[in-house]
Amino acid sequence: MTVSPGAGRPERVVLAGADIGGTTTQVVLCTDGLTVLDRVELPTPAAAGGQAMIGTVLGGLRTLLDRVPSRLAGVGVGAAGVVDAGTGRVLVASDSFSGWAGFAVTATIEEALGVPAFLDNDVNAFLRGEVSKGAVEGERHALGMTLGTGVGGALWMDGALLDGPHGAAGEIGHIPGFGDILCTCGGRGHLETLASGRSIAARYAERTGRHTSARGVAAAAEGGDPDAVAVFGAAGAAIARAILITAGMVDVTTVVIGGGVSRAWSLLRPPILGALAAEPPVSGHPIRLLRARLGGDAVAVGAASRARTELRAGCRA
């Protein structure tokens, strides 16, 4: 279906956000107030190269624009890996993506659609989403953590994402001091070795010889399995320590946690709060711990929020 503009009713102006994950790509259309109007979820052709992955985003967007007649103002993309948010290129991608490192994401989208596009790391986009429209809406300072296959982190300081001189600020999953277990990155004792979904499954298998997913460990813990409870307890204590290190270093005391593992909130929250209570931040200011609210939309909504911020800044310039 094609919609001709100017057919009598005023056009609705919308923003788009895309979350390009290793398995699925989520595309949303939202209002200027970041209310999601519609969404599609498509398989990511991660082995087929950057052009194919952006082709999936564009295909999803066309579907949405057919369903929600409107005028697109801009597109934000959140993608895993190290990205250059300034040039809109992917710098470093994991092995599961082919032809993605070096790919000019925003230029390809702008050429196809004729609207401005912006690129962010997915964890940064997650936190921007939760600050813009989620659990920590309106906060000036927040730490964001995603507990998924790995552990991601991002810092929101003074109302903006903190990138750091090498783009790695907030990378909390790979700070050391959490034991001696080998990490996926080749280091040892990183937070990720205790708190990621993959690690929760591995630590449980070490204790019991039983191989299951993090979700399986959570189900066992809910059933009273002491090994499963202990694995979640160790994850929660490690997360609390990472929160306290952050609070001690940069005085950020509001924390939002998302990602698949955070679905086991009733198992994670008590050990995190217990460890936080035992060692309160030196500022004396209590930690505010929140579970992410946007669920699977967080990265895409955060990416759309980046586009909104940039477009508004462009209008003022």
Helices within the chain (DSSP H only): 50-67, 105-113, 122-133, 192-195, 197-208, 214-222, 226-250, 265-278, 298-316
The residue count for binding Zn ion (CB under 5 A) is 5
Residues paired with residue 282 on neighbouring β-strands, in sequence order: none
Binding of residue 194 to Zn ion (CB under 5 A): no
Contact between 75 and 115 under an 8 Å Cβ cutoff? The reply is yes
Residues whose CB is less than 8 angstroms from the CB of residue 170 and which lie 6 or more positions away in sequence, other chains included:
123, 124, 143, 144, 153, 154, 155, 162, 164
242 binds Zn ion (CB under 5 A): no
Contact between 195 and Zn ion by CB under 5 A: the answer reads: no
Is 149 near Zn ion (CB under 5 A)?
Answer: no
Q: Please state the closest distance from residue 59 (CB atom) to Zn ion, in A.
A: 35
Q: Among residues 183, 202, 217, 239, which is the contact residue for Zn ion, using CB under 5 A?
A: 183
Question: Judged by CB, which is closer to Zn ion: 189, or 296?
Answer: 189
By the rule CB under 5 A, 47 interacts with Zn ion:
no
Instruction: Tell which residue, 36, 19, 35, has the closest CA to residue 80.
Output: 19
- Least distance from Zn ion to the Cβ atom of residue 33, Å: 38
Question: Judged by CB, which is closer to Zn ion: 64, or 183?
Answer: 183
Closest separation in Å from C-beta 166 to Zn ion: 16
DSSP conformation letters of 187-211: -BS-THHHHSHHHHHHHHHHHHS--
Dist. CA 88–CA 111, nearest whole Å: 13
Compare residues 53 and 195 and give the one whose CB is closer to Zn ion: 195
| Residues between 150 and 179 with contacts to Zn ion, criterion CB under 5 A | 174
Binding span for Zn ion by CB under 5 A among 40-48, 126-134, 183-191, 300-308: 183-191
Shorter beta-carbon distance to Zn ion: residue 160 or 182: 182
Closest approach of Zn ion to the CB of residue 259, in Å = 16
CA atoms within 13 A on the CB side of 86: 4
CB of 239 to Zn ion, least distance (A): 15
Please tell me whether residue 314 binds Zn ion under the rule CB under 5 A. no
How many CB atoms sit inside 10 A of residue 225's CB?
Answer: 17
Cα gap 287→2, rounded to integer Å: 51
User: Least distance (Å) from Zn ion to the CB of residue 184?
Assistant: 6
Q: What is the dihedral of CA 183, 185, 188, 190, to 10 degrees?
A: -70
Asked if 190 interacts with Zn ion (CB under 5 A), we say yes
* Binding residue for Zn ion, selected from 177, 187, 274, 314, defined by CB under 5 A: 187
At its nearest, how many Å lie between Zn ion and the CB of residue 241? 15
Q: Does 39 bind Zn ion (CB under 5 A)?
A: no
Report the alpha-carbon distance of residue 190 to residue 170 in Å, rounded.
14
Distance CA 171, CA 214 (A): 22
Strand extents, DSSP E, 21-116: 24-30, 36-43, 71-79, 82-84, 89-92
Q: Does 133 engage in binding with Zn ion (CB under 5 A)? A: no
Find the shortest distance in angstroms from Cβ 82 to Zn ion. 14
Q: Which of 185, 277, 278, 282 binds Zn ion (CB under 5 A)?
A: 185
Residues near Zn ion (CB under 5 A): 174, 183, 185, 187, 190
